[in-house]
Structure formats: structure tokens, C-alpha cells
């Protein structure tokens, strides 16, 4: 049987309502894995190695009945409501990047890294860059510009290209080492190293607070 009546906060607060819909364990991480396009059941499992199959099945059912996910041709995709969760995930990334206890050596899915970069990019000072990524065989393209950030699956034959394990590329992006010291090791970098460094300099796990007003007063 379906759970008939799911656990609810029973509040009129819209944040509580949101948490009624996507507050269950794994739910937002499933959204994360689907944000760049539909995925098959096994691909979802590969991106969420900690989830067990029956929990993923249950989550997908619940999220489908909540209107966030729908079964598609060979797998599952987000509905527009599900895609609307990107700002939530982005806010989580920007907050979580500043919190201690983060262990970048733990498993990271290619989608998770690419989305975290979209969340953490200082796009207001971004020049135009076209960058291809190949992370454990999965291809992505990033195009930055002043105030804009485009991220898609697939390759574009961009002048810059990173390839390697997701965690290794994450170290290149967020770690302290300059690109010319990183590239030789676990990842492969193609393109101009100066522009590659300029691109990587856009990303930091610790977001500058925006400068003006404290968060508690405005926002």
C-alpha cells in the first residue's frame, strides 16, 4: 500500500509546506541528480551510493505524487515544480560551503560538482569562458559570462577542458593549489593555463557575504 497519509508538519507556514514536500531524506539529493536532465534508476543509484533501492523507489513514488518528478521515457525526470527547487539547492550549497566538517574526499557525483560550481561561481566578475568537463565519463559544458552561467550536459568542443575523477576535479576547482600544480596529477587539463586559472578563480567554497547589510536585517 502507499503510505496513504504522509507525515506532515500541519502548519500553514509555506516553508513548512515546502518541507512537507521535499523534507524527506534523500529527496533534495534526488532532485540534485535530476536537475541536469532525466536519469535512469541505475544512474540515480550511481549518483547516490548511500541510498538503497527500495528507498529510492519509495522516494520517487512520493515525489511523483507530489508533482516533482515524473516517469519519462527510460527513467525519471523533473517536472517544472521540481526544477523550481534549484534556488533551494543553491542556497543550501552556498550555506553548506561555509560550514565546518565538510569532507571533500567523500564521494561526489559529477552532477553534484557541476551544480555546486553553478551555485558558488562569482558570476558578477566572470569573463566569458567556455569549458568542457568529462567526469567519470559524463560530459558537461559550462559557459560563463558577466552575470550569467550556463550549464548543460554534453560537450561543446570548448577551448578549455577538464577531465578526471570528480573528486580530483573538485580539488582543482576549490582547492588551494594553482592549476599548473594540479593539472599534472590526477586530472587532465587542456587549454590555456592562464585562462583555466582565471576560470577556476571564480569558484570558492566560502561565499563573501555580499557586503552590504547583515543577513538578519535584509535579505
Which positions lie near its own copies, rule CB under 8 A? Answer: 9-21, 23, 25, 28-29, 32, 35, 50, 67, 81, 83-109, 112-113, 115-116, 118, 148-152, 167, 170, 205, 213, 215-219
74 counts as binding DNA under rule CB under 7 A: yes
Instruction: Specify the residue, 56 or 156, whose C-beta has the smaller distance to DNA.
Output: 56
List residues bridging with 129 in a β-sheet.
Answer: 144
Cα separation, 43 vs 149, in Å, equals: 25
Q: Is the dihedral of CA 66, 74, 41, 115 positive or negative?
A: negative
Residue list 35-64, contact with DNA (CB under 7 A):
40-43, 50-55, 57-58, 60-61
Instruction: Specify the residue, 73 or 215, whose C-beta has the smaller distance to its own copies.
Output: 215
Cβ–Cβ under 8 Å, residues 33 and 39: yes
84 binds, among its own copies, DNA, none (CB under 5 to 8 A by kind): its own copies
Half-sphere exposure of 39 (CA within 13 A, CB side): 22
Cβ–Cβ under 8 Å, residues 20 and 9: yes
Residues forming contacts to DNA in the complex (CB under 7 A) are 3, 6-7, 24-26, 40-43, 50-55, 57-58, 60-61, 71, 74-76
Amino acid at each position: 500500500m502507499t503510505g496513504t497519509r504522509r507525515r506532515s508538519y500541519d502548519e500553514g507556514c509555506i516553508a513548512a509546506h515546502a518541507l512537507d514536500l521535499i523534507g524527506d531524506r534523500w529527496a533534495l539529493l534526488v532532485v540534485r541528480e535530476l536537475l541536469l536532465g532525466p536519469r535512469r534508476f541505475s544512474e540515480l543509484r550511481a549518483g547516490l551510493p548511500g541510498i538503497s533501492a527500495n528507498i529510492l523507489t519509495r522516494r520517487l513514488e512520493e515525489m511523483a505524487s507530489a508533482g516533482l518528478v515524473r516517469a519519462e521515457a527510460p527513467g525519471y525526470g523533473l517536472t517544472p515544480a521540481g526544477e523550481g527547487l534549484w534556488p533551494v539547492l543553491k542556497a543550501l550549497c552556498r550555506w553548506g560551503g561555509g560550514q565546518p566538517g565538510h569532507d571533500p574526499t567523500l564521494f561526489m557525483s559529477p552532477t553534484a560538482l557541476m551544480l555546486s560550481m553553478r551555485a558558488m561561481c562569482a558570476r558578477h566578475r566572470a569573463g566569458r569562458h567556455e569549458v568542457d568537463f568529462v567526469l567519470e565519463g559524463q560530459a558537461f559544458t559550462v559557459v560563463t559570462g558577466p552575470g550569467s552561467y550556463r550549464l548543460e550536459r554534453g560537450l561543446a568542443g570548448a577551448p578549455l577542458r577538464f577531465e578526471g575523477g570528480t573528486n580530483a576535479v573538485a580539488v582543482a576547482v576549490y582547492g588551494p593549489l594553482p592549476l599548473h600544480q594540479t593539472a599534472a596529477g590526477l586530472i587532465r587539463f587542456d587549454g590555456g593555463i592562464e585562462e583555466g586559472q582565471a576560470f577556476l578563480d571564480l569558484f570558492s567554497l566560502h561565499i563573501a557575504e555580499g557586503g552590504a547589510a547583515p543577513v538578519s536585517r535584509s535579505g
